[in-house]
Chains A and B, each alone.
Chain A
Amino acid sequence: MAVELIKERKTVAMTGNQAIAEAMRQINYDVVAAYPISPQTELMGFFAEYLANGLVDTEFVTVESEHSAMSAVIGAAASGARAMTATAAQGLLYMYENLPIASNWRLPITMVLVNRALSAPLNIHCDHGDAMTARDSGWIQLFSENSQEAYHNLIMAVKIAEKALLPTIVNMEGYIVSHTIGNVNLLTDKEVQEFIGESDWRKNVPHPLLDTDNPVTYGATALPDYYTELKYQQHEATFEAKKYVKEVLAEFNELAGTNYDIIEPYKLEDADFAIVVMGSTAGVARTAADILREQGIKAGVLKIRLFRPFPVEEIVDALKHLKAVAVLDRHDSMNALASPLFQDLAASMYHLPEKPLLHDFIYGLGGREVTVEDMLKAFNRVINLYTGKETRNRFVEYLQVRE
């Protein structure tokens, strides 16, 4: 490590972008590739200042596009480097071609996705549209509720990616988290370094390109005789990944005194109704659940931290006893039955003989403010659907639209 800056734990008021840049400094990546896009730009700016002041050893590749950003981190990771990039929305779509390649090659890349709505219309504010496009790409995906979690998630992601040998996205909501100040408990530089371990090009990946004594071919064509087997290996790896995520979360909890899990239930044990949500909305949903509990309605919340691989068994266990569940999707999966989180939940519960009523709400698009009233509205709608006071003709509806 270039310079040891934080020798004792401390709490600092930081935005999400500052917290991520701080984690990047402490991780001291070998290679970071960066291309500007709002709301990620600021994050790389903070990191560049660390670099300019000699606080990290990183090779900073300021590429000419997001496509090249992902290409460069693929090249770096295949060489054996601990490599990272960050992007949002259109930037993710532009680099998308390379995402399934990184995952099939089992490269332990980490990427921060500062969630932003997809064009059109152009909008730089938050929703999960970008993350959802990557859901089939084979990348692990973690969601962060606030800047503290974003900071912790990135440190954990490095270890998760290297253990599972799968690239990992850390989602952090644009502006809502990236530009909002909150308290962040920082670990010491030494603790972070010890947690992730020293970067060694011979060990970070099984077959580093830089090992010229044992030359490997990355990116061979596989025809119908091998394609299926090479996908199957990856398929199995994604199922194995959950185990590694749990292990790393447990180790991290031990270190940081946190209480993280792949899903985080709130007052669900005795609940009748619940909201399922990812990201910053979890806090608002918990407040709504408390209000309902004061009125005698048994409400709870399920926050999902690990979106990919989708934790089917854990989610089913947490929700199977409920009467009705409001699924909150910050994205519209056009032309589908409903949006992605709903689809995954509904499919996960398909085999249960008795299952809760599920209803999908599209909310918070393009940075639309999410209030406690919105959450109460979602709760009341599913309660009324359950009791038969209201009916529905679709599984999905917009929660906050002006008609």
Chain B
Amino acid sequence: MAKRKKFVNIPVLTHLAEESHQWPYENPLAPGHRMCPGCSIPPIVNMILLEYGKDTVTGSNTGCLEVTTGVFPYTAWTVPWIHVAFENNPAVLSGAEAAYKAFKKKGKIDKEIHFVSINGDGGTYDIGFQALSGAAERNHNMLYVCYNNEGYQNTGYQRSSATPIGAFTKTTPVGSKIVGKEEKRKDLTLIMAAHEIPYTAQANPFNYKDFTRKIRKSKDVKGFKFINVLQSCTLSWRTKPEEAFRALKLATESLYWPLYEVIEGRFWRINVKPSKPKPIEDYIAMQPRWRHVLKMPQVLDKIKEEIYTKWDYLLRMEKLSKELAEDLGFTLDEIFEMSWDEYQEKVKPKLKEKTYLS
């Protein structure tokens, strides 16, 4: 038998270790990745990493971000990153965070490390929902970001439970009997807020100030954080690459994608309130995948019902939150703008006082 070659003890190592490339990076998601022109994932990831910085362990489920950023022997990740499978990244990072805690309490690691899981809507709303819900319930100290492009884009655009009603996908084609997806989208942000995790938010990369503020907030908050961020897909939405961010802007201006944030399922704050919302038709018209519904009054009506009912719900939740904040002697803005430690110190005891049965 031929002598066996000595095996190499390197599992997967693809970091571009060039001397000239060091933190702080201008683009922490290094150039050279394989994302489509006009894709809004890279700015989302860059905004996250710029806020979180070098000492961050990141990860992703299988999906667009995963296949385009780590193709052996190259990587676009300038921070540690782990991808195991389609549905389990929050569970994987649960283990990583547990490992960190184990070494931290034994004094075997000094620095503060953050954990961020960035995943698509298929891996979040559908196949990965269990792992997400589990990690949220266990309240691991990590940020979970869903870049929500409303479908399985990496496999060529099939429906997910984030796909809006009426939209064309490869599994909900526009036919003579059935026209696009028949069910409305699942509202995962509400579901995560109902987990009563420390921080839940909905964001839009178009409004980068709001988005980066939310990322910064999540870094300060201890426990599980969830941010659902709308992300345009030029390939499947068929919006022109140069118009991607204009479409995203309209999503919020038409109330299709409200920007809001929730603390512990208790305090709700809407971040952008368009004085005169744009017609939803304008937003739909920018997306060839969806614009056939403009000629379908019944579907259009269902879309409007969903959007305006949700908007009304958010307004009412915010009103209740304002009342509660005032009862405790704060304004709602004060509660959202104070640090997490301050919140624990100042707001929580009052909340307890006010709401416990005496």
Contact = CB atoms under 8 A, between A and B. Distances in A.
Contacts of A155: none
A237 B12 CA distance: 14
Interface residues of B, number: 62
Interface of A: 30-31, 33, 57-59, 61-65, 67-69, 71-81, 83, 97-98, 101, 104-107, 165, 200-201, 205-207, 209-212, 214-223, 226, 230, 233, 236-237, 239-240
User: Which 4 A-B pairs give the minimum distances between C-beta atoms?
Assistant: A75-B95, A64-B134, A72-B95, A219-B83
Contacts of B70: 217, 219-221
B9 A206 contact: yes
A402 to B, nearest CB: 41
Interface in B90-132: 91-103, 105-106, 108-109, 111, 113, 130-131
A345 to B, nearest CB: 20
B80 interface: yes
Nearest to B85: A97
A77 B96 CA distance: 8
B119 to A, nearest CB: 13
B92 to A, nearest CB: 4
Contacts of B291: none
A78 B83 CA distance: 11
Nearest to B8: A233
Contacts of A219: 12, 66, 70, 81-84
B87 interface: yes
B33 to A, nearest CB: 12
A79 B11 contact: no
A165 B75 CA distance: 24
Given A80-B99, A221-B67, A67 B57 contact: no
Contacts of A75: 59, 82, 84, 91-99
A2 to B, nearest CB: 10
A71 B98 contact: no
B78 interface: yes
Given A71-B131, A215-B78, A226-B73, A81 B92 contact: no
A318 B98 CA distance: 45
28 contacts: A57-B102, A67-B88, A67-B131, A72-B95, A73-B95, A74-B84, A74-B92, A74-B95, A75-B97, A78-B82, A80-B103, A98-B88, A105-B11, A205-B11, A206-B10, A209-B80, A210-B100, A215-B77, A215-B81, A216-B13, A217-B75, A217-B82, A218-B12, A218-B80, A219-B84, A236-B7, A239-B4, A240-B7
A79 B14 CA distance: 17
A56 to B, nearest CB: 10
A31 B102 contact: yes
Contacts of B82: 75, 78, 209, 217-219
Interface in B1-35: 4-15
B94 A62 contact: no
Contacts of A73: 95
A71 B88 contact: yes
A68 B94 CA distance: 9
A4 to B, nearest CB: 16
A99 to B, nearest CB: 11
B11 A200 contact: no
B98 A81 contact: yes
B15 A216 contact: yes
A219 B74 CA distance: 11
Given A59-B102, A76-B98, A104-B11, A64 B88 contact: no
Given A30-B102, A104-B11, A215 B83 contact: no
Contacts of A215: 15, 77-81
Contacts of B8: 233
A81 B99 CA distance: 6
A368 to B, nearest CB: 35
B194 interface: no
Contacts of B100: 79, 210
Q: Which of B9, B14, B92, B111 neighbours the largest number of chain A CB atoms within 10 Å of its CB?
A: B92
A52 B57 CA distance: 29
A78 B133 CA distance: 23
B217 interface: no
Contact of A212 (B10, B94, B111): B111
Contacts of B9: 106, 165, 206
Contacts of A226: 72-73
B94 A221 contact: no
A58 B101 CA distance: 10
Contacts of B10: 206-207, 233
A12 to B, nearest CB: 28
Contact of A72 (B71, B74, B75, B92): B92
